[in-house]
């Protein structure tokens, strides 16, 4: 016989009981910090639309990498801003390019830190697209297969520099298979591929484009990044990237795509990261700076939502801030 009324509040009665029955938790070991390194920066340059985020110089990046490692964070996701950009993205795969030099320096300074490199052409092309472009103005197209060749060369140059993981964020067809073949052909069997497999053409990337100086100079990314309305297409994209040999998955952006995160994890069971993107970061920062939201509480709630939706890893600009916040919550 049930004793009525049923009383679920019994398990909310104290902090200790609530902690005991908490269903999902977050640990610093599940956090990945995106970082920017600029070939032009003599010292860290703040990114106006992302308070707390800077474009590092090579020297300041090395110091930051040591701090990140000492905090017990497991990994960084590295984005480079070259001094020169051109239509062929030549600095993306240059042996002495800014990212290649940064990987070498970080691995030397913090060998225990996992270095994930973003593989894309948008930070290196003068037009800002994630692939090579034919035509100009309204009459242009992003060329897939020629771009894939350069993306494979870029990933290889990162592996040669010592990257542990390469993360193609370009959304060209076939890039995961081409990168895996190039890495294996050069005996980089141990370099993993973390594919931005479910990546949408989102309005939430604006602040990142400030940080990476990578906004498209014409057109948009709709012919390669996915329509936000298409969940089934995203699941097909994930299946393709797994088929082509990726080891880890990214769902991106995060907040507006928690349904996709859940479906991807439920269906594919591969280690899955969610990317808490720049626009999600900037909007909470702006609300907090106006006193409208409590940044710490709201950020922790965001992270809990990502974990509850199935994320094994969270790529977030709050990674460093979260370490003391999580210790206080423990
Ligand atoms: O934080 C962010 O907004 C990430 C943006 C993301 C980085 N992988 C892409 C944004 C864009 O489409 O410009 C970069 C694509 N290569």
- For the CA atoms of 236, 172, 35, 289, the dihedral, rounded to the nearest 10 degrees, stands at -70
How large is the average pLDDT for residues 252-269? 97
Residues, the chain = 330
* pLDDT band, very low/low/confident/very high, at 258 (cuts 50, 70, 90): very high
Cα 137 to ligand 1 centroid, rounded to whole Å: 22
Helix (DSSP H) and strand (DSSP E) numbers for the chain:
11, 12
Could you tell me which of 4, 166, 148, 37 has the C-alpha nearest to residue 89? 148
Q: Which ligand 1 atom minimizes the distance to the CA of 207?
A: 3
Q: Tell whether the model's pLDDT for residue 198 goes beyond 90.
A: yes
* pLDDT band, very low/low/confident/very high, at 330 (cuts 50, 70, 90): confident
State if residue 151 touches ligand 1 by the CB under 6 angstroms criterion. Answer: no
State if residue 278 touches ligand 1 by the CB under 6 angstroms criterion. Answer: yes
Q: Which residues of 156-181 are buried (b: 16+ CB within 10 A; e: fewer)?
A: bbbbbbbbbbbbbbbbbebbbbbbbe
Q: What is the pLDDT of residue 264?
A: 98
How distant, in Å, are the alpha carbons of 124, 151, 282 from that of 86?
7, 15, 29
CA pair distance 237, 139, nearest whole angstrom: 27
Q: What is the pLDDT of residue 281?
A: 98
Percent share of the chain, pLDDT over 90: 96
CA end-to-end distance (rounded Å), the chain:
38
How large is the average pLDDT for residues 296-314? 98
How large is the average pLDDT for residues 19-42? 97
Q: Which ligand 1 atom minimizes the distance to the CA of 128?
A: 13
CA pair distance 76, 68, nearest whole angstrom: 8
Q: Whose CA is nearest to atom 7 of ligand 1?
A: 169
Catalytic residues: 199, 252
Q: Tell whether the model's pLDDT for residue 137 goes beyond 80.
A: no
Q: What is the pLDDT of residue 329?
A: 83
Mean pLDDT over each residue of the chain, to the nearest integer: 97
Q: Residues near 160 by Cβ (< 8 Å), separated by ≥ 6?
A: 95, 100, 186, 188
Q: Which CATH number is associated with domain 27-329?
A: 3.20.20.70
Q: What ranges do the domains of the chain cover?
A: 27-329
**Most ligand 1 atoms within 8 A of CB, residue of 80, 169, 198 to mutate:** 169
Q: What is the pLDDT of residue 212?
A: 95
* pLDDT band, very low/low/confident/very high, at 115 (cuts 50, 70, 90): very high
* pLDDT band, very low/low/confident/very high, at 285 (cuts 50, 70, 90): very high
Among 108-122, 129-143, 289-303, name the one with the lowest average pLDDT.
Answer: 129-143
State if residue 130 touches ligand 1 by the CB under 6 angstroms criterion. Answer: yes
How large is the average pLDDT for residues 185-205? 98
SS3 162: coil
Q: Which ligand 1 atom minimizes the distance to the CA of 276?
A: 1
Q: Which ligand 1 atom minimizes the distance to the CA of 120?
A: 16
Q: What is the pLDDT of residue 19?
A: 96
Q: What is the pLDDT of residue 77?
A: 98
State if residue 36 touches ligand 1 by the CB under 6 angstroms criterion. Answer: no
How large is the average pLDDT for residues 77-87? 97
Tell if the pTM clears 0.95, that is, is over it.
yes
Residue 256 near residue 204, CB atoms below 8 Å: yes
State if residue 38 touches ligand 1 by the CB under 6 angstroms criterion. Answer: no
Cα 300 to ligand 1 centroid, rounded to whole Å: 23
The string of pLDDT tens digits covering residues 221-245 is 999 999 999 999 999 999 999 999 9
State if residue 169 touches ligand 1 by the CB under 6 angstroms criterion. Answer: yes
Q: Tell whether the model's pLDDT for residue 84 goes beyond 90.
A: yes
State if residue 118 touches ligand 1 by the CB under 6 angstroms criterion. Answer: yes
**Most ligand 1 atoms within 8 A of CB, residue of 35, 212, 314 to mutate:** 212
Q: What is the pLDDT of residue 3?
A: 78
Q: Whose CA is nearest to atom 14 of ligand 1?
A: 169
* DSSP states along 210-256: HHHT---SSS-STTTSBPTT-HHHHHHHHHHHHHHT-SEEEEESSGG
């Amino acid at each position: 016989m049930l004793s009525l009324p049923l009383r679920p509040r019994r398990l909310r009665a104290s902090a200790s009981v609530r902690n005991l029955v908490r269903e999902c938790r977050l640990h610093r070991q599940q956090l990945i910090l995106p970082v920017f390194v600029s070939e032009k920066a003599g010292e860290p340059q703040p990114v106006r639309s992302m308070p707390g985020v800077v474009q590092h110089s090579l020297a300041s990046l090395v110091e930051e990498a040591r701090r990140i490692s000492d905090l017990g964070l497991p990994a960084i996701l590295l984005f480079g801003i070259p001094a020169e950009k051109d239509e062929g993205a030549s600095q993306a795969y240059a042996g002495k390019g800014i990212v290649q030099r940064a990987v070498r320096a970080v691995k030397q300074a913090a060998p225990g830190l996992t270095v994930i490199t973003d593989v894309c052409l948008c930070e290196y092309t003068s037009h800002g697209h994630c692939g090579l472009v034919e035509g100009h103005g309204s009459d242009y197209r992003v060329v897939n297969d020629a771009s894939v060749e350069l993306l494979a060369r870029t990933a290889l140059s990162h592996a040669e520099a010592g990257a542990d993981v390469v993360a193609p964020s370009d959304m060209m067809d076939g890039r995961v298979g081409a990168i895996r073949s190039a890495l294996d052909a050069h005996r980089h069997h141990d370099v993993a591929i973390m594919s931005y497999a479910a990546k949408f053409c989102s309005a939430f990337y604006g602040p990142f484009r400030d940080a990476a100086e990578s906004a498209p100079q014409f057109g948009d990314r709709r012919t390669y990044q996915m329509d936000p309305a298409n969940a089934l297409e995203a699941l097909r994209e994930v299946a393709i990237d797994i088929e082509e040999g990726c080891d880890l998955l990214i769902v991106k952006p995060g907040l507006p795509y928690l349904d996709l995160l859940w479906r991807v994890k439920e269906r594919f069971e591969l280690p899955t990261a969610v990317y808490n993107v720049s626009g999600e970061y900037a909007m909470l920062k702006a609300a907090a700076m106006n006193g409208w939201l409590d940044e710490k509480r709201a950020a922790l709630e965001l992270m809990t939502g990502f974990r509850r939706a199935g994320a094994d890893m969270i790529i977030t600009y709050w990674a460093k801030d979260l370490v003391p916040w999580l210790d206080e919550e423990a």
